[in-house]
Chain A
Amino acid sequence: MRRTESRPQPPVTAAEGDEEREAGVARLFDLHYTSMLRLAALLGADDPENVVAEAYYQIYRKWRKVRDAGAAEAYLRSIICNLTRMRIRHLQVVRRNTPALRVESVASPEDSVLLRDDQRALVGILRELPARQREALVLRYWQGLKETEIAAAMGISPGSVKTHAARGMAALTRRMEARR
């Protein structure tokens, strides 16, 4: 008679759970850190490293709920969009209330990259767009996401994504043509 070996699964201890979480987050870090850092920078975060580190910390904390790598990437993207939007809004309020800070300029990615004049102008206009429009454009034209994915990242409906993207693109086109 064949004996079937059915060993009971040992319960996962807290230390093992922590190790698994560390390994999982490390894997996610390897896979997505650079693209998330670039996303935060393109969305206009003045400190993209902090924004992305905070997003990874949220994943680290809620690791038991977020196991699937695909879901984790979407979740990271969504956190980064929210954190960047909050950060920009906070900076706007601070600058409005303390006029002395208005003149301070923060080092942005376009300072270190060799951009043509028209590209620099485009980036300038993109920075002046409302946060939602900028997010929709970056997620669509840089990340190449579908409308449903953009909607999930921004926490809005696909219809609203279309509206924001169309308005943003129209504003870019209009202002670039006015610049000529």
Chain B
Amino acid sequence: MNTVPDDMERRLRETLDTLAAGVHPARDAYRTARGDWRRRERRRRIVLALLVAVVFTVAVAIGLWVLNQAPAGNGAIFTEPAAAAVHPDGRG
């Protein structure tokens, strides 16, 4: 493995410190950033609410359509006439 001279580490630290010292935040950085977060959060919530509403509406519409497609007559189990379904001894 290569050995790194201490001088190189020191120079790198100095250079990075000097470079970092030249970066200054804008004065209204917080206000700008906060406005952006709030706008994005509001948009995210609206999109989420719309999505939930659309999914709910579609689910309800599909459910209603399926119910509407059900046959109007008696089901397959209750094919016999109502009178025949009564037990002979009258116990139902």
Contacts and interface: CB of A to CB of B under 8 A. Distances in A.
Interface of A: 22, 25-26, 29-30, 33-34, 37-38, 41-42, 48-49, 53, 56-57, 60-61, 109-110, 112-115, 118-119, 122-123, 126, 137-138, 141-142, 166, 169-170, 172-173, 176
A25 to B, nearest CB: 8
Nearest to B17: A142
B26 A49 contact: yes
Contacts of A61: 41, 44
Interface string B1-42: 110110011011111111111111110011011101100110
Interface of B: 1-2, 4-5, 8-9, 11-26, 29-30, 32-34, 36-37, 40-41, 44
B8 A38 contact: no
Given A112-B22, A113-B21, A169-B2, 12 more contacts: A34-B24, A34-B25, A41-B23, A42-B19, A110-B22, A115-B15, A119-B15, A119-B18, A138-B16, A142-B16, A142-B17, A170-B2
A166 B11 contact: no
A173 B2 contact: yes
Nearest to A176: B8
A138 B9 CA distance: 11
Nearest to B30: A29
A119 B22 CA distance: 14
Given A41-B19, A113-B18, A142-B17, A170 B4 contact: yes
B22 A33 contact: no
A169 B13 CA distance: 12
Contacts of B32: 53
B3 to A, nearest CB: 9
Given A29-B30, A57-B40, A142 B9 contact: no
10 contacts: A33-B29, A42-B16, A48-B23, A53-B37, A113-B18, A113-B19, A141-B12, A166-B2, A172-B12, A173-B5
B20 to A, nearest CB: 4
A57 B4 contact: no
Given A26-B30, A29-B30, A173-B5, A38 B12 contact: no
B31 to A, nearest CB: 10
B23 A38 contact: yes
A141 B19 contact: no
B22 to A, nearest CB: 3
